[in-house]
Structure 1
Amino acid sequence: MATRVRFKNLAEAERLAKRKLPRAVWLAIKAGNEQGWTLRENLRAYDELGFSPTIFDRPTSFDLTTTILGVDIDFPVVVSPVGAQAIHPDGEAGMARAAARAGTAMGLSSWAADGVEEVVRANPKTFFQLYWVGTRDQIEARVEAARAAGAAALIVTLDWSHTPRRDWGVPPAPPSRLDLRTMLELAPEALSRPVWFSGYLRRGRIPELKVPNLFGPGGRVPYFGEAWAEFEATPPPTWADVKWLRELWGGPFMVKGVNTIRDAKLCVDLGADAISLSNHGGNNIDGSPSPLRYLPDVLDAVGDQLDIMIDGGVRRGSDVVKALALGAKAVFAGRACLYGLAVAGEDGGHAALTILKNGIRETMFGIGRSSVHDLGRHDLMVLNRDFFVPPAG
């Protein structure tokens, strides 16, 4: 029996998710870095763009379809590769099924609680996201596992700077092992939301806090804390490392975390098929502007050589239309999908995606556009004359 979804918009889903989740879990998915300036900026940037609605010759049919990384999707929203979606027993596999039902692709994080094989079975349109963790041999083994599972594309994320500081405090880090002492330490958080915790008990699936896609030598699956320690100890990749990774994969390839024209041009040079402009959802360097502000300049510099996606702050279908009008091929939606997943699992994730899809169609009706491919800067009104921020390089 399908779960009854109790929200009709994503703001309501956010409120319900906050009530349902333990405080530490909520802060882990909601909060940004340091003072949260960039987290708020990602939302503010969309609020500083408007539309000019039309009343004549409104469309009666809509084409929302597009192609990204060689995969056809029904509308230009892809589930962002957000880690640790074990906020609900359905996890990443449930979110992947939700995306498949909605007709779109699933981004699967290296830090996921579900393995790539299970997620690809749930949704063949899965893009596997990779961090540079460990040795080249370890990274190659993970790439080959994604290939063997049937992942449709590879995303490498390069913008994380290991600065998880928050003015309001940082939630407890996931453990390096799950022994009796650790379980006793985590118990108060779990028991603070008995309905949430009982959902896991009914499924017989207590979160182990392991990361199967970051397996080590011999296939050993580490706990989150162990993998994090290895991540911090791994030297950041060079351009040559990413070039090697691109050649190793050989298929559709995206670099995520681009913020400058220089880096975008370097991605073209290494043969990337797509880039995603991102400030890591406000969780990287606080003070970074929304990618929406410099999307047009990056598009003008490299947009005829690869596809450009964007993420950060997408909460409504109208936000998606704004990003597309400025030149994005599609957007990643992260927190919006997590809120739905937290409230109602797979059904909640599907509801969140459906709300975004309907919002795109409704906005396009209002501005008189029948196809996402017809959207352009002429469809927007800039409400703040200082909106655009030239990127470096």
Structure 2
Amino acid sequence: MAKNPWAKNPWFETVQEAQRRAKKRLPKSVYSSLVAGTQAGVTLHDNIDAFSELGYAPHVVGAQPDRELSTTVMGQEISFPVMISPTGVQAVDPDGEVAVARAAAARGTAMGLSSFASHPIEEVTAVNDKIFFQIYWLGSRDDIAARVERARAAGAKGLIVTTDWVFNIGRDWGSPEIPEKVDFKALLRLAPEIAVKPRYAMDWVKGGKVVIPDLTAPNLPADKSQTGPTFFGAYYEWMTTPPPTWDDLKWLRELWGGPFMVKGITRLDDAKRAVDIGATALSVSNHGGNNLDGTPATIRLLPGIADAVGDQIEVLLDGGIRRGSDVAKAVALGARAVMIGRAYLWGLAANGQTGVENVLDLLRMGLDGVVMGLGHKSVHELSRDDLIIPDGFERSFGTI
């Protein structure tokens, strides 16, 4: 087996180090899929850079010896305001979503599981009882209803409907070509990349046999015994399904009948519509920079949305979270919690389940340090008074 260069020191001190290790371990095409954004990558970078424009106004006396970081999201208690955002086909590690779910459970938090995940929902809920199933508007209402009932039977605690996505003509910014399926032809084409990444290759050898990465979508069929379509087969059906209306989302919310999140909100009027259909939560999101390029960073949009509807619906944020201080800034501006994507995928790529736990630990420690430095006893005491917000930082659009 290929030697692990970090065997003596598997712990990494920053999310950026997790990213560096992920880049070193993964084949170029696999790594590129984790950092890609749409078109020029303007939104992708703004999601990250906008956090650095916010400053803190700390106290130097009066730090509290103990801090409370826990909160709730859609009825589930979590140990701190960070949860796992749903991401598709986690082929950076053989255990994929199951490893991530175990890590989230070990750190007392919830996980969103993608419809395009590489492991069945039943395997994921078996290791973490705080799973929210993410769904795309894909296929007929009957298809969607069957998918919802499977999630319910598997023990999902809530539903996340993703709306923040557009289909761009041409290659996404930095995005590699992904094979339709991993067959001999695809392996032959990728062989030069894989050959120079022996540790990654050997991780897919189990019991003397090579485990081929699964590029199917096993959570799309109504029954777990059925074979899911290929990733691109599912992607094509999604592209050719007419986009949902607000009436469709209301129907889905009523069908589910439990905690329900609308992910992808950037406008005030859309936030109000999420309230109107009875959603439990919304996520201020631009799909991590994979939506319309030029959409503002989510942290710029959060304050206006939280002010407008935060007393009527749980407001979350995703996009650009790399440090515990980013989490604190989001909470101070009105988020109940944040959802992370690339950060935990880099941890997974760097060191499997332990790497995801490492990322969660870093975010928790960073958040705790900010809460202490600001003189608070609880994460719930964070507010705009703790921040230095430059003129013109916030963005707000869509009248209500």
Q: TM-score, normalised by structure 2?
A: 0.94
Equivalent pair of 2:318/2:340 in contact (CA under 8 Å):
yes
Following TM superposition, by how much is the alpha carbon of 1:61 offset from its aligned partner in structure 2, in angstroms? 0.4
Alignment of 1:1-393 (within 5 A): 5-163=10-168, 165-166=170-171, 169-175=174-180, 177-202=181-206, 204-215=210-221, 219-382=226-389, 384-393=390-399
Following TM superposition, by how much is the alpha carbon of 1:241 offset from its aligned partner in structure 2, in angstroms? 1.0
Q: Structure 1 residues 76 and 164 mapped into 2: Cα distance closer, same or farther (>3 Å)?
A: farther
C-alpha separation in 1, matches of 2:173 and 2:250: 39
Q: Structure 1 residues 60 and 165 mapped into 2: Cα distance closer, same or farther (>3 Å)?
A: farther
Q: Structure 1 residues 3 and 264 mapped into 2: Cα distance closer, same or farther (>3 Å)?
A: farther
Following TM superposition, by how much is the alpha carbon of 1:141 offset from its aligned partner in structure 2, in angstroms? 1.1
Deviations 1:113-153 (A, max 9, x none): 01111111111101110011111111111111100000111
Which consecutive unaligned segments of at least 5 residues does structure 1 have?
none
C-alpha separation in 2, matches of 1:301 and 1:212: 38
Q: Which deviates the most, 250-259 or 85-94?
A: 85-94
Deviations 1:138-183 (A, max 9, x none): 11111111000001110000111112755755311231x4443333
- The letter of the residue matching 2:359 is A
C-alpha separation in 1, matches of 2:28 and 2:169: 17
Equivalent pair of 1:85/1:112 in contact (CA under 8 Å):
yes
Following TM superposition, by how much is the alpha carbon of 1:322 offset from its aligned partner in structure 2, in angstroms? 0.2
SS of residue paired to 2:370: helix
Runs ≥4 residues deviating over 4 A:
164-169
Equivalent pair of 1:274/1:306 in contact (CA under 8 Å):
yes
Q: Structure 1 residues 165 and 308 mapped into 2: Cα distance closer, same or farther (>3 Å)?
A: farther
- The letter of the residue matching 1:342 is A
C-alpha separation in 2, matches of 1:75 and 1:271: 26
C-alpha separation in 1, matches of 2:304 and 2:222: 40
C-alpha separation in 2, matches of 1:70 and 1:108: 17
Deviations 1:251-296 (A, max 9, x none): 1000000110111111111100000000100011110101111211
Equivalent pair of 1:124/1:151 in contact (CA under 8 Å):
yes
| Aligned-residue identity in percent | 50
- The letter of the residue matching 1:213 is N
C-alpha separation in 2, matches of 1:164 and 1:258: 23
SS of residue paired to 2:21: helix
C-alpha separation in 1, matches of 2:395 and 2:159: 29
Q: Structure 1 residues 389 and 168 mapped into 2: Cα distance closer, same or farther (>3 Å)?
A: closer
- The letter of the residue matching 2:35 is K
Following TM superposition, by how much is the alpha carbon of 1:90 offset from its aligned partner in structure 2, in angstroms? 2.1
Equivalent pair of 2:297/2:319 in contact (CA under 8 Å):
yes
Following TM superposition, by how much is the alpha carbon of 1:4 offset from its aligned partner in structure 2, in angstroms? 5.7
C-alpha separation in 1, matches of 2:77 and 2:170: 38
Following TM superposition, by how much is the alpha carbon of 1:223 offset from its aligned partner in structure 2, in angstroms? 1.1
Equivalent pair of 1:173/1:225 in contact (CA under 8 Å):
no
- The letter of the residue matching 2:193 is E
Following TM superposition, by how much is the alpha carbon of 1:299 offset from its aligned partner in structure 2, in angstroms? 1.3
Following TM superposition, by how much is the alpha carbon of 1:3 offset from its aligned partner in structure 2, in angstroms? 9.4
Deviations 1:349-391 (A, max 9, x none): 0000011001100111111112011111101011x31101122
C-alpha separation in 2, matches of 1:323 and 1:164: 33
Equivalent pair of 1:33/1:284 in contact (CA under 8 Å):
yes
Equivalent pair of 1:174/1:224 in contact (CA under 8 Å):
no
- The letter of the residue matching 1:392 is G
C-alpha separation in 1, matches of 2:81 and 2:164: 23
Equivalent pair of 2:38/2:173 in contact (CA under 8 Å):
no
Following TM superposition, by how much is the alpha carbon of 1:216 offset from its aligned partner in structure 2, in angstroms? 6.6
Equivalent pair of 2:44/2:288 in contact (CA under 8 Å):
yes
Following TM superposition, by how much is the alpha carbon of 1:195 offset from its aligned partner in structure 2, in angstroms? 1.2
Deviations 1:213-260 (A, max 9, x none): 122798331111111111111110111111111011101000000110
C-alpha separation in 2, matches of 1:53 and 1:67: 26
Pairwise CA RMSD of aligned residues?
1.7
C-alpha separation in 1, matches of 2:195 and 2:143: 37
Q: TM-score, normalised by structure 1?
A: 0.95
